[in-house]
């Protein structure tokens, strides 16, 4: 009998792009036997955060790490406020509608990282000077892009053996290094939605149907 090895499909920042998510699941041939992991920022900025959240809740083979957008929504929810810090959060809450509280309850269970024998999934990245994952600060895990010089990407100094899969920093193409893979390819800005299939490390990207943000909101990396 042939042994069937479980695949893990790690998915980049979805930001409410439900149609592209469905395209990506088709392109990867995702099946219930696969383990799915999202790098966080499933919600916010994009067209259908409610639909993406319903998909997440209804997908038992999925795990998610927390993204900074979910974290900001959670903080507002815990403070008993409708998010108003940024207009895109207000729009996200509107898309979630009556299920906002239920959504936040669900998201509040997401961890800051997932560590397996041969990989780590985290939203933004790691401080390369700190070897232990559980000693990384919440702020770092959710938001790091560069080191303190403001220009060196954190992963250029990361020397760990374990592969880190991350999102948070939209780029025209995935960041692909021996021990770090960046999967935010700016779908919500009209780029693409990326996934990496493990253990073979195959990248799959599907193009965005359109840009869901006006050009003035685009990060400089995508202009
Ligand atoms: Mn992010």
In a domain, 181, yes or no: yes
Supply the angle between the helices 68-78 and 100-107 in degrees, to the nearest 10. Answer: 120
What rounded mean pLDDT belongs to the chain? Answer: 94
Question: pLDDT higher for 70 or 85?
Answer: 70
In a domain, 209, yes or no: yes
- Name the domain count of the chain: 1
Instruction: Tell me the average pLDDT across 131-154.
Output: 97
In a domain, 2, yes or no: no
The two beta strands, 192-198 and 8-11, are antiparallel
pLDDT at position 221 is 87
In a domain, 191, yes or no: yes
pLDDT at position 89 is 87
pLDDT in tens, 144-160: 999 999 999 999 999 99
> Does residue 2 carry a pLDDT above 60?
no
Distance from the CA of 39 to the center of ligand 1, in angstroms?
Answer: 9
Distance from the CA of 145 to the center of ligand 1, in angstroms?
Answer: 10
Distance from the CA of 1 to the center of ligand 1, in angstroms?
Answer: 43
Distance from the CA of 71 to the center of ligand 1, in angstroms?
Answer: 10
For the domain that residue 19 is a member of, what is the CATH number?
3.60.21.10
Confidence class of residue 30 from pLDDT cuts 50, 70 and 90? very high
Distance from the CA of 118 to the center of ligand 1, in angstroms?
Answer: 24
pLDDT at position 88 is 80
> Does residue 217 carry a pLDDT above 90?
no
Beta bridge partners of 120: 115, 164
Under 8 Å between Cβ of 167 and 123: yes
Q: What is the DSSP string of 144-197?
A: --B-TTSSSBGGGT---SSEEEE-SS--SS-EE-SSEEE---BGGGTSEEEEEE
Distance from the CA of 2 to the center of ligand 1, in angstroms?
Answer: 40
> Does residue 203 carry a pLDDT above 80?
yes
Containing 98, the helix (H) or strand (E) segment is: none
In a domain, 3, yes or no: no
> Does residue 69 carry a pLDDT above 70?
yes
pLDDT at position 152 is 98
Question: pLDDT higher for 223 or 102?
Answer: 102
pLDDT at position 84 is 64
Distance from the CA of 4 to the center of ligand 1, in angstroms?
Answer: 34
Distance from the CA of 169 to the center of ligand 1, in angstroms?
Answer: 7
Cα-only R_g, the chain: 17
Distance from the CA of 89 to the center of ligand 1, in angstroms?
Answer: 13
Question: pLDDT higher for 83 or 74?
Answer: 74
Whole-angstrom Cα distance, residue 84 to residue 89?
6
Distance from the CA of 198 to the center of ligand 1, in angstroms?
Answer: 22
In a domain, 1, yes or no: no
Distance from the CA of 123 to the center of ligand 1, in angstroms?
Answer: 7
The residue range of the domain holding 177 is 8-222
In a domain, 147, yes or no: yes
Q: Which two tokens mark 152?
A: 């060196």
Distance from the CA of 5 to the center of ligand 1, in angstroms?
Answer: 31
């Amino acid at each position: 009998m042939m042994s069937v090895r479980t695949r893990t499909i790690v998915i980049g920042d979805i930001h409410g792009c439900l149609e592209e998510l469905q395209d990506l699941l088709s392109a990867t041939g995702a099946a219930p036997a696969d383990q799915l992991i999202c790098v966080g920022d499933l919600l916010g900025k994009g067209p259908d955060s409610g639909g993406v959240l319903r998909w997440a809740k209804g997908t038992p083979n999925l795990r998610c790490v927390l993204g900074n957008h979910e974290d900001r929504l959670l903080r507002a929810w815990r403070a008993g406020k409708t998010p108003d810090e940024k207009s895109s959060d207000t729009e996200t809450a509107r898309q979630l509608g009556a299920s906002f509280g239920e959504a936040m309850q669900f998201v509040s269970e997401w961890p800051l990282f997932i560590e397996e024998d041969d990989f780590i999934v985290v939203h933004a990245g790691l401080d390369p000077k700190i070897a232990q994952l559980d000693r990384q600060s919440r702020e770092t895990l959710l938001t790091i892009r560069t080191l303190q010089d403001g220009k060196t990407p954190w992963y250029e100094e990361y020397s760990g053996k374990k592969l880190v899969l991350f999102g948070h920093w939209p780029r025209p193409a995935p960041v692909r290094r021996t021990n770090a893979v960046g999967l935010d390819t700016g779908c919500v800005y009209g780029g693409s939605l990326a996934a990496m299939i493990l253990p073979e490390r195959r990248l799959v990207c599907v193009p965005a149907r359109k840009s869901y943000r006006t050009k003035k909101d685009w990060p400089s990396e995508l202009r």
